[in-house]
Amino acid sequence: MSGSRIVDLSLSIESEMPHFAGTPPVYIAQSHRLDDEGYRMCTVLLGNHAGTHLDAPSHFLADGATVENVDLDRCVGEAHVLDLTHKVPLAPITVADVLAAGAGTDPGQRLLLRTDWDLRFGEPAYFTDFPPLAPETARWFADHDVKLVGLDIPSLHQTAFVELHEVMLGAGIAIIESLANLRSLTQEQVFLSAAPLKLAGADGAPVRAVAIESRES
């Protein structure tokens, strides 16, 4: 990795971190201690969509693949960062927005949508007032064979999330939600690593997403 810069794009998973209503809270507690056992270990309990995470097709599709069967080629590789920081709360992200931000039309793109909404993490509005994807945008991603869409918002849409997930997951698109720190990237083109934990039979899993920038660019 000589000559490269690694940028963490993940939320920290912490006990009692904010989470969607109706989903399990996060619990992290020390189970073994240096003074007792001579080493440290923790017990970790969390929902599989806590923090930065990948939605597997089975999250919304009856016959969809579970997370251990997601094609990792979709989650690792060159990605394009789209600056959408002009979007105000609740303003839909349109096809015109993503095209103006630099999305191409060739198949196989990995797109990272930057709104800086992660700055609201910890506020109640984080889960309710984010700028959602317009339904037309989800269909555009599907029609153009996009490999991955990563977003720094907690879901695709406040009310139409089932429809949008069905469209995108049905097209095989890897969806990464609750990214963070996209504003720290200095290049529009980065190498993304966002592989999920290999949780057999699960409909999603946490991701430690990182971007690698070349210092020579």
Task: Give the C-alpha separation, 172 to 61, whole Å.
Answer: 11
Amino acid at 181: N
59 among known catalytic residues: yes
Task: Give the C-alpha separation, 61 to 191, whole Å.
Answer: 29
Structure tokens at 165: 């997930």
Residue 38 DSSP code: S
140: helix, coil or strand? Answer: helix
Please identify which of the residues 59, 80, 157, 165 carries the catalytic annotation: 59
Structure tokens at 33: 């201690």
CA nearest neighbour of 46 among 66, 68, 24? 24
Helix (H) or strand (E) holding 95: helix 95-100
50: helix, coil or strand? Answer: coil
CA nearest neighbour of 43 among 58, 28, 60? 28
Catalytic residues: 59
